[in-house]
Amino acid sequence: MVGRVLLLLGLLPGTTLGTNGVEPIDTSLQARLRGGADVAVGDSALSQINNPASLSLHDVPRLDFSGQFCFPTSRWEGPWGTAESQVGFVPLGNAAVSWPVHDELTLGLALHSKAGLASRYEMRHLLIPWMTREVGADAKVVGLSLNLGYELTDELAVGAGVRAEAATSEFSLVLGPADVEFGRGYAYGGGFQLGLLYHATDDLTFGLGYRSPSWFGDLQGGRTRASLFGVLPVDLGGGRIESLRLAQKITAGAAWDVTERVKLAGEVRWLNYHGSSFNSLTVETDALGLRVPLPLGYKDQWVLAAGTDIRLTNRWILGLGYNYGSDPVERASLLPMGSTLCQHHLTGGLRYERSKWWVGAGYVLGFEASMSGGGYSRIPLGLDYGLSRVEQVQHSLLIGFGFSW
């Protein structure tokens, strides 16, 4: 029950829009306006999610919130026509607090929408052409992390933290002549994170963040059903995804105060999707111990983020950025489950700051991306998917606010 409440509180994403892989490009509004660059900046309590050492920068208690509203446009072209995804509006949100204990030690607590993957199409398939079948998926993950940042010297700070995570998923697929439904299941797990922050000079800062894999038990709790040629569905009992595991991440970056009014920031990330369940997972059912492999085909991803903060006045700050993520999905694993990802993003927006509070808004444009199956599918009996193509464009509105005291 606690995990389900967290999933609701997290305002989880229902799609991969505005993301790298299956994760948002960043957590705070400030970072999103800079294209996601944050590991060496740390100007929000939410920065602790990527680099817990950034907590050392906060000398007063503060609370920060960020929200993102995605408006996806996804189009699937299959052997028997086209379909538009019916996932039209997706909210996600994050909240965090930082609390200095003394001059060297600061504690932090953060709740964030960590990951999401979803789509919903009504389409016809090669071996069931006489009926329209709804296919797609909905996967969500929310994390609650407890962190600390410690200032070792005036130049060097370290950080560490632990997190608990709740995941949920359901999906419906057609595999050749069979259609399969996996009812909503849940899994609970967690991991840890580490960070470093080094002030090389008064104007130049380097940051390093590490996030461990997230280790879960089985994702289970829903029922599974299957039928042949769309008739006579059979209840297969409870279903489970064995030993769910999410990607680890390493991030390195730098921030340079060029002048009192201009800051430049950039970072590089590596996400190990190849070692996660998004590369390959197994679905098991109670009936006859049936085991079905699903090679989702996610490979390791590299992300580049770069941006700037420009102080237009003492109160108004303009943020601009660019984010690039290599395509982590193999063509041979194309599925109508949100597997198309925009690689190029432009970000921008304004925030207004006072001594005790701030508020801001912005916009993310994910340029059109497309993928085709290439005539072959690794999905068992995935005849349709090897002959299909999907296109996607991303639009997102950003908001954020915070307080200190």
- Each domain of the chain, given as residue ranges in start order, spans 2-404
User: What pLDDT score does 5 carry?
Assistant: 36
Distance CA 377, CA 174 (A): 13
User: What pLDDT score does 21 carry?
Assistant: 58
Q: Which residue carries 């297969």 as its tokens? A: 236
User: What pLDDT score does 13 carry?
Assistant: 34
User: What pLDDT score does 338 carry?
Assistant: 63
Neighbours of 341 (CB within 10 A): 23
Total residue count of the chain as it appears in this document = 405
Closest C-alpha to 275, from 242, 299, 306, 239: 299
User: What pLDDT score does 380 carry?
Assistant: 85
- H/E segment holding residue 165: strand 156-175
pLDDT in tens, 174-218: 988 988 899 999 999 999 999 999 999 999 999 999 999 999 999
Kindly tell me if the per-residue pLDDT of 8 is higher than 60.
no
Residue with more model confidence, 91 or 340:
91
Considering the entire predicted model, what is its pTM? 0.91
Q: What is the rounded average pLDDT for all residues in the chain?
A: 89
Closest C-alpha to 246, from 272, 284, 270: 272
Q: Which residue carries 């050392």 as its tokens? A: 56
- Superfamily name with CATH number, domain 2-404: Outer membrane protein transport protein (OMPP1/FadL/TodX) (2.40.160.60)
Distance CA 132, CA 138 (A): 20
Kindly tell me if the per-residue pLDDT of 39 is higher than 50.
yes
pLDDT in tens, 320-364: 999 999 988 888 888 887 655 789 999 999 999 999 999 999 999
- pLDDT band for position 116 (cuts 50, 70, 90): confident
